[in-house]
Chains A and B, each alone.
Chain A
Amino acid sequence: MHPAFSVIFLTTLIGVAQGLFLAVFAIDLVSYIGLSELPMPSFIVAGCAMSVLFAALGLLASFWHLGRPERAWRAATMWRTSWLSREVIVLPAFLASVAAYGFTYATGSVWSIPLGVLALIACIALFVCTGMIYACLRFLQEWASPLTLVNYFLLGCASGFTFATLLASLLAPAYTEVLATWSIGLTTVALAVRAAMLARNARLRPKSTVQSAIGVKHPKVQQKSQGAMGGSFNTREFSHGRTRGFLRSVKWAFLLLAFPLPALLLWLGASSGAAAVLALAFAVQYVGLLAERWFFFAQANHPQNLYYQAIS
């Protein structure tokens, strides 16, 4: 598939927003039931504000993907059948509930915990919607797996917790270490899942062949023309247009940038308490996630490509 930067930014930004909210709300809950001391309110409020900001940026990026953004509201109508439509509903709901939770927390209202639970439900629903948009396309075999959902969830959590660690080092230093530990843990599990995904995809056998595509049962079938010489939507939308070598480099880049490097920086930053190092950890991990998402799209081989093997 052609990796569209609008969707790459959308999925990575809302992932950070969701993970960050989960980190902040977890700390709020833990202190609420009295297992730890109360964090500085500014940490919770700033966390919610940043989460809303990331989610809003993601929403903005998604508009950029549409050919007719002025009609975007229509996308909320088919939630009965379409995961994309469900995401279109759940994303603003998540954004609004996190904002409401942060606001009630700041004002000290008793409603903050119920609203936080609401935001938590929206957050999980959003992870499911985003993952299912890809996992439900059964003939995109690289995506059609529960691993896709788990990967979106873990990478969102990992990057969100990394940002929360940075925020804690500035506003609630007592929580820096525990958040860093969680963040490193999530990053490690995410690496394991991503590696499992890579291993699964490397062993995939395409169900469709050029023989089933045109229905000629001969072992040797070769395309000679695709009916257009200057390319078409089909040649632009479904291929990344890069070499195998480039793809491989992106893979190794994200395997390094999204996982071990930020984990190392998190450990360094948390043990020294240096916010700059934690900021670097987040930046490196985010760049790694951009590469990871690019690769996620590029690796998916659409069966329609069987009809677009040769120009003339």
Chain B
Amino acid sequence: MTQLALVIDLNVCVGCHACVTSCKEWNTSGVAGFLSDENPYDKDPTGTFFNRVQTYEVGEFPCTETVHFPKSCLHCEDPPCVPVCPTGASYKRKEDGIVLVDYDKCIGCKYCAWACPYGAREIDEKQQVMKKCTLCVDRIYDQAIPEAQRKPACVVACPTNARLYGDIHDPDSEVSRAIRERGGYALMPEWGTEPANHYLPRRKGTVAVDADQVSRIDSPLNVDGRIPGTLAALIAEAQAAADPASAPAAGGR
């Protein structure tokens, strides 16, 4: 069985929101109709989005880290949002594990949004039906677009390649390998929803610095054997030569 999913690398995400705009553009132009906005160019703009990038600060100043955190429907393997739906509008596809809403059946009761612990569902205030990430189901199977682009719009847009896409049930897929080898984890595992989407953790940045770099062994002014302080010594020498009276380095007071 296939379970399509996203794996998001928090170590790489720079918080540029390119996935947000790309998602909105693709999904507001699709066959399923627009994603409505209110006051888009005015005070208090608000609207329907499938994907949002949030920012968190980890640690205490000055030792802080910024984590940019893209959030969309996680296409849970045991989705609590599906069984509660009274109309059957919310469903999980057998063939690829994508959780979808049938906009023609939804009555806008919002019960599924209550049942999603991640806040991944948003009601469309104009159409009054529930909306959420579709994993670009109208794009990933489209034979009319080049094969390399048959991926969710957010994945194609990401400039840092922080978003991986594939089948997490195939142990050899790029996403499965990433989860396995780079510590991929699920959000709020305490609820047993088994999110299909995974996140790759931040890694502590390390920069290798060796002693040669600190002492600037590659400086053109360097004289071997006069390390450390090669440059300072050269300057002092030059000053002494120019004005012996004021140069402290000359000594001889």
Using a CB–CB cutoff of 8 Å, the interface residues on chain A facing chain B are 1, 65-69, 71-72, 74-78, 81-85, 88, 133, 136-140, 207-208, 210, 212-216, 218, 220-234, 237-238, 302-305, 307-308
Q: Is B55 positioned at the interface, with any CB of A under 8 Å from its CB? A: yes
Using a CB–CB cutoff of 8 Å, the interface residues on chain B facing chain A are 17, 20, 39, 43-49, 52-60, 66-67, 69, 71, 80, 82-89, 105-111, 113-119, 121-123, 125, 127-129, 185-191, 199, 201-202
Collect the chain B residues with CB atoms within 8 Å of residue A233's CB: 48, 113, 121-123, 125
Q: Which of A78, A212, A308 contacts B188 (CB 8 A)?
A: A212
Bound-state CA distance A2–B90 (Å) is: 22
Top 5 A-B pairs, shortest CB-CB distance: A67-B108, A67-B128, A304-B119, A227-B52, A85-B86
Asked whether, in the complex, the Cβ of A77 is within 8 Å of the Cβ of B86, the reply is yes
| CB proximity of B200 to chain A, nearest CB, Å | 10
Bound-state CA distance A77–B107 (Å) is: 12
| CB proximity of B190 to chain A, nearest CB, Å | 5
Residue of B nearest to A133 (CB): B111
Bound-state CA distance A88–B85 (Å) is: 12
| Interface residues of B, dominant DSSP | loop
Beyond A75-B109, A213-B187, list 11 extra A-B contacts (CB 8 Å). A67-B127, A81-B83, A84-B86, A85-B86, A137-B114, A208-B191, A212-B190, A222-B57, A233-B113, A303-B117, A303-B118
Given A72-B107, A139-B117, A139-B191, are A67 and B53 also a contact pair (CB < 8 Å)? no
Q: Which of B45, B84, B88, B191 contacts A136 (CB 8 A)?
A: B84
Q: Which of A67, A220, A307 has the most CB of B within 10 A?
A: A67
Bound-state CA distance A65–B89 (Å) is: 17
Bound-state CA distance A76–B127 (Å) is: 22
Given A81-B84, A82-B85, are A213 and B188 also a contact pair (CB < 8 Å)? yes
Bound-state CA distance A214–B74 (Å) is: 13
| CB proximity of A64 to chain B, nearest CB, Å | 11
